[in-house]
Structure 1
Amino acid sequence: FRSINVYLRQELGLFACIRPCKYYPGVRSFFSEQGVDIVIVRENTEDLYAGVEFEAGKPETGQLIEFINNLPSDRKIKTGAEETGVSIKPISVSGTERIVRCAFDYARENGRKKVTAVHKANIMKYSDGLYLKTATKVAESYPEIEFEERIVDNMCMQLTQKPELYDVLVLPNLYGDIVSDLGAGLVGGLGVAPGANIGPNGAVFEATHGTA
């Protein structure tokens, strides 16, 4: 079963998911005193959610693993195709530029002071590394807005300790999916943190609970 939300994002070119996570008085939250007011901007079309997957036991999975293992590299898949599923994680310069500009434009238009790019470039140097390098370059076009970067696991810890330090977060697809739910948890749950899927030619506003 393919998620309807994912299908609509891909087919309609809804490249950005914007989720405001703001605390409202009266909502039960462990972070009510911090005055959480974060906007999470998630890239919607690339990364592991691009849907380029290969099922364990399928001939094409074996062909892919064989191709990878025959490349002149020390990076090998050490398990066989009969027991291994593979997902491809595409991150592009154009896709990253688009989502990071979206985050900065949102910050500029809404009086936000800081954008934080969230990544795992310390481990995934060629995908998340490209994302971070591109985000850093885009940030130079917005000198009036503070820019910083955080490794995603540290970002999760920081949000549960000092959420008031953050303003606009911009993330690749998978991290954005996870961190946006964490952000919702800071302010009382998914019911008070709806998401807007935005593209160049339209928008889709999804149910606050996703497609569960």
Structure 2
Amino acid sequence: MKAVLIPGDGIGPEIAESIKDITKAMNLDIEWLEYRAGAEYAKETGEVFEPGLVEAIEQYKWALKGPTATPIGTGFRSVNVALRQKFATYANVRPIRSFKGVESRYENIDLVIIRENTEDLYKGIEYKLNENMANGVKLITREASEKICRYAFEYAKINQRHKVTAVHKANIMKYTDGLFLEAFRDVAKYYPDIEAQEVIVDNMCMQLVLRPETFDVLVAPNLYGDIVSDLCAGLVGGLGFAPSGNIGDEYRIYEAVHGSAPDIAGQNIANPSALLLAFALMLEDLGNIEAAKTLRDALAKVVEKQEVVTPDIGGHASTTEFVQAIINEL
């Protein structure tokens, strides 16, 4: 099969090489079509996407993306958001798991955050009222809310999870978050074997820090899902082990959640784990469950041994050496 690979900015090209190395080492039938996107490409050309990128995703349906930089306050909107909206990848799926060998305050964390990906404040409907006042529109629809809640319950059912928790602020935002919560309750009725829970977003953040083991699958509107998923990554040592899948009815785009880390770009010391785990998610969704498990297990063994790991997790290995250690485990 053919799939699109978007290396991205900063450390992106370095960690994207690991995907090609692992694909070859595992004899996987995937041909990667490489395209550029992001701040560096925009600075060079004035365009956010390399010509042909969008058409390639339209044709081949599957893509894997490295980190891309986004200017804060000015410039183009996020590449991530643009791709999600363009390809209607309505569900952002973020599995968060503990890895032995990664320093963390918690053990045995196993959470999945499912975030609505196409609307809310990320719709980008904002404007200035005058020089000193701006307004942003929080768009929530019943259709999108029901769709993401149904996806969350189906995910729980298929993966033998037992509880789905809706994250909201309906006590204050009675129309928008109230509509999301209504949709959650309506969908939950069709899944009587799965516990349905509702938690206000600020309390959710506190509960995740106090007792993360009491949660299973979280479903949230776009903004809360973004914030809570990064909080959950902090429970397992940071964004370096946080993969993400953007799932639509027709298209799927997988990515590393972390940033482009320009301060270490070009030094061959970046940790490619998040992108490798995103690749494992992709393999799983392609139906190659065994390959996904093999890759995750090999990565986990290398990290647990702590013999050949990158500086961010206490080692001195280069990106290349770390990837080779994973290949040796394979």
Give the TM-score normalised by the residue count of structure 1.
0.85
After superposing the two structures, state which structure 1 stretch, 9-18 or 200-209, moved more: 200-209
Q: Quick check: 1:15 aligned with 2:90? A: yes
1:128 aligns with 2:177: yes
User: Which of 121, 125, 141 is equivalent to 1:52?
Assistant: 125
The answer as to whether partners of 1:184 and 1:192 remain within 8 angstroms in 2 is yes
| Number of the residue aligned with 2:167 | 118
- What amino acid maps onto 2:241 in structure 1? V
Kept in 2, the 8 Å contact 1:40–1:180? The answer is: yes
Mapped to 2, the partners of 1:13 and 1:114 lie a distance apart of 26
Q: Deviations over 1:4-60 (max 9, x none)?
A: 00000000001010000111211110112xx111000000011000111103xxxxx
Using the TM superposition, give the Cα deviation of residue 210 of structure 1 relative to its aligned residue in structure 2, in angstroms: 4.6
Question: Which segment drifts farther, 115-124 or 17-26?
Answer: 17-26
Match among 81, 98, 101 for residue 26 of structure 1: 101
- SS of the residue corresponding to residue 206 of structure 1 reads strand
Distance in 2 between residues matched to 1:43 and 1:37, nearest whole Å: 20
Bigger Rg, which one: 2
CA 1:182–1:199: 2 relative to 1, 3 Å: same
Contact 2:242 2:256 in 1 (8 A): no
- Provide the residue aligned with 2:137 in structure 1: 88
- Residue 39 of structure 1 is aligned with which of 90, 102, 112? 112
- 2:79 counterpart residue number: 4
Q: Is the 8 A contact 1:5 1:211 kept in 2?
A: no
Distance 1:10 1:208 in 2: 17
1:106 aligned residue: 155
Counterpart of 2:114, as a letter, is: V
Letter in 2 for 1:31: Y
Q: Does 1:198 align with 2:250?
A: no
Number of the residue aligned with 1:58: none
Aligned partner of 1:85: which letter?
A: A
Residue 174 (1) aligns with residue 247 (2): no
Please give the secondary structure, in 2, of the residue aligned with 1:122. coil
Q: Which residue pairs with 1:156 in the alignment?
A: 205
| Structure 1: runs of 5 or more not aligned | 56-60, 62-80
Q: CA deviation at 1:211?
A: 6.2
Aligned to 2:154, the other structure's residue is in SS state: helix
User: Which SS does the other structure have where 1:143 is aligned?
Assistant: coil
Determine if contact 1:43/1:99 at 8 Å carries over to the other structure: yes
Q: Can you list the C-alpha shifts for 1:151-194, whole angstroms capped at 9, x where unaligned?
A: 00000000000000000000000000000000100011111111
Q: Distance in 2 between matches of 1:208 and 1:169?
A: 17
Structure 1 contact 3–211 (Cα < 8 Å) conserved: no
Q: 2:192 aligns with which of 123, 143, 152?
A: 143
Q: Cα deviations across residues 55-90 of structure 1 (Å, max 9, x unaligned)?
A: 3xxxxx3xxxxxxxxxxxxxxxxxxx2211110001
Distance 2:157 2:134 in 1: 42
Identity across matched positions, percent = 58
State how far apart, in whole Å, the 2-side matches of 1:44 and 1:115 are: 18
CA contact (8 A) 1:4 1:211 kept: no
CA shift for structure 1 position 208: 2.8
Which residue identity does 2:87 align to in structure 1? L
